[in-house]
Structure 1
Amino acid sequence: MALSESQIPSDAQHYLVCATEDCKRNCQFYCNDCHQPMCEQCRDGHQKYKKTQNHEVVPYKLRKRQLPVEKCKIHPTKEIDLLCGECQIPICSKCTGTKEHRGHWFTNLEMVFAEKVSIYNKEIANIRSYFEPTSQDLKKEIAGDVTEIKKVMESIRTSMKAEAESVKKLVDTLTSDNIEQVHKLEQSLLQTLNGQNQQIDDYINSLNDLVKTFYGYLSPSNIEQLTFALKSENLVIRPIPETSKPVPPIFTVGQYSQEDVAKLLGKITVPNTKPENRKIKPMETASTQLKPTGKQRKQDREKSDVKQTLCMSSSVTKVRKYTVPGVDGVFHISLGKSDRLWVSDVYGNLVQTDLQGNQLQKIQTNGGSDGYHTVTQDGGLIYTDRENKVINKITPDNTITEFIKTGNWEPLSIHSSHINGDILVGMKTDEEGKVTRYNKTGTEIQNIQRDNKGQPLYKYPHYITENINGDVCVSDIDKHAVLVVDKSGQHRFSYTGQRSRLDPFGICTDVLGHILVCDEISEKAHLLNRDGQFLSLLLTPQQGVDYPYSVCVDGENNLWVGEWDTNTVTVYKYLQ
């Protein structure tokens, strides 16, 4: 049985059969006059038949939709088949002569309906091809954000509990010390009072002895005793010994408020940043993505092929070499825009040069063998000041300003994210280290300090970078490890070297998610994949590098290398 018109959706994918009696073939055409679907053979017969040879037969997708058959309420013998253009209501042919529609213009209702059908089909196609898929993409993005927020919040809860436990231990320690001090003071005061008590006891005993002597003189038994009695004026009662009242210590109750305790425990803050609207791809872009042209498909394929075929080269090839004036070694490199690079040595010399080796700027800092400077997205430079516990900013017009204060933490390393412009800072106190994330304006938005068990992650995070998946990668010289957490702060893995201990220095990542870290012990660079698996050693003496301490990768996938004992920067090609 053929489907009725109302049962056939515009984007139907079912098998539609010819409506001709006893014909079960696939429907491909439609007669707009008969409003009947038909197959190719029935169409040919339909056009040859004398009564229907002038009918309009079109491909099924171009058919005119059949109007619902309805009688006019004013003229029950007539069907509604016209549209009054001025009143915009359906009428029958007889209604055109009534006074309500006299002088109005009219249109064939079927034609109007066909035009609307065409418009609605386009809208349905737009909904199916753009609005609905784009909305589904937003739902996936929101679901990802839900997962991410849950991770971040769980990390915050874990950090809060660990911080509270740390403060509790500190309180217990201080309380124990104070009680011990009270015990010692008590013993000292009691010892003094016991001495005074003994002194009074001795004095009372001497008085009793004196009383006995006087009683003996009252009734002398012989001349000798009488002689002593006559001389009794020589016996003198000693004055009562002087003693002093003890001065007990005073316990001063701690002066603190809920806010003071909150400072010790830390607090959660909501950044005063306006949430960014989710990006909705333009309809034109979406259409292009859904139905790419042959040229676009070729370009996309070429781009994909480049990334898929990009891999480790069988050899490391030297591309060029630069001499940096004003430094004694290259402990850290920051690549800037317009062929500019910043280099620092262990003595705090921070120098900017062009690629011809011309010194453009030199700053004396208190930085040393740390990755303490980075180029921001706007082309400026920011660097840490450990002594003053601040981060300074050098704008493109060479003005130096104080950008961020780090409180009681010494800022060691810094990295400006290539993903979103966030600023990652490795810091330390005498007890432990942490990584703090700031946004572009310098507002603190995240602290990464402890692992999933509440234990400190870092001790001396002196080089820091970010991988293409958002992982934060840190060289910690005191932990002898590369420590990697995801963007929510959850610890992913620690790399501690191969056969010997690792002393990690400069660290960077590349377009494939590789992690490259310089090792002072092996005097080579270790190449890891994004999950911390060791792949190979790079920058060996055979490749012309003796003491690699700093590394970075540029936009052309070239590896820039600095050594601690020379003022040269060498560029290598290691991917192909």
Structure 2
Amino acid sequence: MVKQVLITEEIEKVIAPTYEDIKKELINQIANLDGEYEKITTVISDQGEKWHTEVNRVIDKMKNEITEIKEKHGTILEKHLNEIKQIESLIIGNLSALKELEESNDVSVIVEYRPRIKEFRKLPAKVHVTLPSFSPKSINGEKFYEMFGSIKPFVSTTDKNGYKIKSPEVSQRELLDIPEIINTFNTWYENLRSISFYNEEIWTSAQTGNIKCFSTVGKYMKTIKTRSGEMPSDIAVTRGGNLVYCESKFKTLNKINDGKTEVIIRLQGWKPNNLCVTSTDDFLVSLYNDDTTQSKVVRYFGSTEKQTIQFNDEGKPLYSGNFYIKYITENRNYDICVADPGAYSVVVVNQAGKLRWRYTGHPSWAKRKQFKPHGITTNSQSQILTADSKNHCIHILDQDGQFLRYIEDVKDPFGVCVDNQDNLYVAKWTGNVKIFRYLK
């Protein structure tokens, strides 16, 4: 039932508004067709006035061509709009079914229900239609039609990544003047490294082959052993609730499904360091090469590589070339945020992989040790929280890299994550998990 509520919320607040925006964009394009094409016919008419009687025949012919092109253009957009409307209708129907499920006590109906969230989450290819243009030429009576000008035909293409999921709107919350410690619990680990939240569960891993799960109040729930028995370099949970972990030693990314471990990515020449699951259920994985001279971030959809982020616009590396753990997360604005301790900085690129900013610590702590981030996470406000293990604190930044506040006196912080209420869970190297409330 909790899963259905989450699906309903995503459809209402994210997917349905996205399709509404797509529909409005297409309606606006269609509404502007006459105006855009009128600009072209006006240019043609101005040229035609200079050519007097003989030119009128050519003008009529070319206007007819423009009309035919406009009709084809409109037909393409109308077809695409109808496709979007059909999907939107399916979404509304699915949303109604989900709401009925939430109120239903019939267990068999709930069990048999198959959500279509993955189908809706995969947006359709975006249709691009380039307007034709008119290129006038100097007068030549012998080759009148040829010399009058030419119409460059419109181009219709599709772009699978043309549409983007709409960012959900969230209410703004202020930071507490003094963060509060809500709870502390022991994981019975030594060298606790990673922590991940999913649906009231807290998953943790350390330098051991066991991955432990706790409730949000610290009650032990279960343990999952890695496939190899070796320690995972990082853990995460998919939007469907499947635990995933990467193993640097074996160069694999693994998924737990119904208690069975599946290798979904096996790398060559590169080792996985850390990973996160994005809002679209992609994997973002930080990698370093076998001789530890290069690092990069790769986006995967399942086992398919979709994007590689390694260099800036000048061809220089974005990340330090070493085996240092590079924790990674996706922000609500789709920025990709990497804690790079080897470069003593947080490196943030946009969804396309272009560098937005770097954060190397705040000048107010110049007397302290050098900033060395490890764990990194983001909250519903698109704020970035990163663990500074050398200075025993958490840095809170806004989405543009501006320092907001410290959470101080957090000894040996390493992995971090937030829950649905934006409470902060800090995995301490000593094995304890400390939970903070820092937003009003």
Q: Could you state the TM-score of these two structures normalised by the residue count of structure 2? A: 0.59
Assess, with a 3 A threshold, how the Cα gap between structure 1 residues 534 and 139 changes in structure 2: closer, same or farther: farther
2:336 corresponds to which residue?
A: 472
Give the aligned partner of residue 562 of structure 1. Answer: 427
Correspondence for 2:193 among 325, 331, 337: 331
Q: Which one of 262, 287, 291 corresponds to residue 401 of structure 1?
A: 262
Q: 2:23·2:84 contact (CA, 8 Å) conserved in 1?
A: no
Aligned-pair distance for 1:347?
A: 4.3
1: CA distance, partners of 2:171 / 2:389: 32
Aligned ranges for residues 448-459 of structure 1 at < 5 Å? 448-458=309-319, 459=321
1:425 equivalent among 285, 294, 306? 285
8 Å CA contact 1:374, 1:415 repeated in 2: yes
Secondary structure at 2:342 match in 1: coil
Alignment CA distance shift 1:139-1:483 (3 Å): farther
Give the match for residue 178 of structure 2: 315
Alpha carbons of 1:132 and 1:379: their partners in 2 closer, same or farther (altered >3 Å)? closer
In the alignment, structure 1 residue 373 sits paired with structure 2 residue 373: no
Distance 1:278 1:404, change over 3 A: farther
**What RMSD, in angstroms, separates the aligned Cα atoms of the two structures?**
2.9
Q: What does 1:164-563 align with in structure 2 at a 5 Å threshold?
A: 281=88, 307-308=171-172, 310-325=173-188, 327-337=189-199, 339-354=200-215, 355-363=217-225, 365-367=229-231, 372-395=234-257, 397-417=258-278, 419-429=279-289, 430-439=292-301, 441-458=302-319, 459=321, 460=324, 462-498=326-362, 499=366, 500-538=369-407, 540-541=408-409, 545-563=410-428
1:138 Cα deviation after fit: 3.8
Structure-2 change in CA distance of 1:278 and 1:462 (3 Å): farther
Change (3 A) 1:485 1:322: same
Give, in angstroms, the shift of residue 475 of structure 1: 1.1
The Cα shift of 1:349 comes to 4.0
Q: Which amino acid aligns with 1:486?
A: N
SS at structure 2 position matched to 1:411: strand
Structure-to-structure mapping, 1:57-76, within 5 angstroms: none
* CA distance 1:373–1:139, change in 2 (3 Å): farther
- Taking the aligned partners of 1:475 and 1:314, their CA distance within structure 2 comes to 25
Shift of 1:535: 1.4
For the residue of structure 2 that corresponds to 1:551, the secondary structure is: strand
Q: Give the unaligned 5+ runs of structure 1.
A: 1-130, 143-276, 286-302
Residues 193 and 414 in structure 2, CA contact (< 8 A), matched pair in contact too: yes
Output one character per residue of 1:275-326: Cα deviation in whole Å (capped at 9) or x when no partner. Answer: xx757655998xxxxxxxxxxxxxxxxx98x713x1111221122233224x
Q: How does 1:87-102 map to 2 (within 5 A)?
A: none
Please state how far the C-alpha of 1:383 moved relative to its aligned partner: 0.7
Cα drift, residue 406 of structure 1: 1.9
Question: Which entry has the higher C-alpha Rg, 1 or 2?
Answer: 1
1:147-183 deviations in whole A, cap 9, x for unaligned?
xxxxxxxxxxxxxxxxxxxxxxxxxxxxxxxxxxxxx
Structure 2: runs of 5+ lacking an equivalent: 1-18, 31-82, 93-167
- The 8 Å contact of residues 343 and 352 in structure 1, kept in 2 or not, is answered as yes
Superimposed CA distance per residue, residues 366-396 of structure 1 (whole angstroms, 9 cap, x where no aligned partner): 447x5x110011101111111111111111x
The match for 1:137 among 25, 50, 61 is 25
Higher strand share goes to which structure?
A: 2
Distance 1:284 1:483 in 2: 37
Whole-angstrom distance in 2 between the partners of 1:515 and 1:437 = 20
Deviation at 1:529, TM superposition (A): 0.8
Aligned mates of 1:135, 1:562 — CA distance in 2? 44
Q: 1:357 to 1:456 in 2, by over 3 A?
A: same
Shift of residue 363, structure 1, vs aligned partner: 2.1
Rounded to whole Å, the distance in 2 between the matches of 1:134 and 1:411 is: 37
Contact 1:366–1:386, Cα closer than 8 Å, also in 2: no
Q: Report the Cα offset of residue 438 of structure 1.
A: 0.6
Per-residue displacement from partner, 1:10-64 (whole Å, max 9, x unpaired)? xxxxxxxxxxxxxxxxxxxxxxxxxxxxxxxxxxxxxxxxxxxxxxxxxxxxxxx
- Partners of 1:408 and 1:401 in 2: CA distance: 21
Contact residue 367 and residue 384 of structure 1 kept, 8 A: no
Check conservation: 2:193, 2:206, Cα contact below 8 A. yes
Matched residues in 2 for 1:477 and 1:132: separation?
42
Offset, 1:340:
2.2
1:312 to 1:462, Cα distance in 2 relative to 1, 3 A? same
- Please say if residues 22 and 84 of structure 2, whose CA atoms lie closer than 8 Å, have aligned partners that are also in contact: no
1:380, 1:393 within 8 Å by CA — same for their partners in 2?
A: yes
SS in 2 for 1:573: strand
1: distance between equivalents of 2:349 and 2:438? 26
2:286, 2:91 → 1: CA distance?
44
TM-score (norm 1): 0.45
Shift of 1:422: 0.8
Shift of 1:476: 1.3
| Distance of aligned partners of 1:348 and 1:519 in 2 relative to their CA distance in 1, 3 Å threshold | farther
Distance 1:284 1:384, change over 3 A: closer
Fraction of identical pairs, as percent: 31
> Post-superposition, which runs of at least 4 consecutive aligned residues in structure 1 deviate over 6 A?
131-134, 139-142
Q: Secondary structure at the match of 2:171?
A: helix
Alignment partner of 1:478: what SS?
A: helix
Residue type at the aligned position of 1:341: I
Question: Is the Cα–Cα contact under 8 Å of residues 410 and 427 in structure 1 kept in the other structure?
Answer: yes
Separation in structure 2 between the aligned mates of residue 523 and residue 356 of structure 1, nearest angstrom: 22
Moved more, 372-381 or 397-406: 397-406
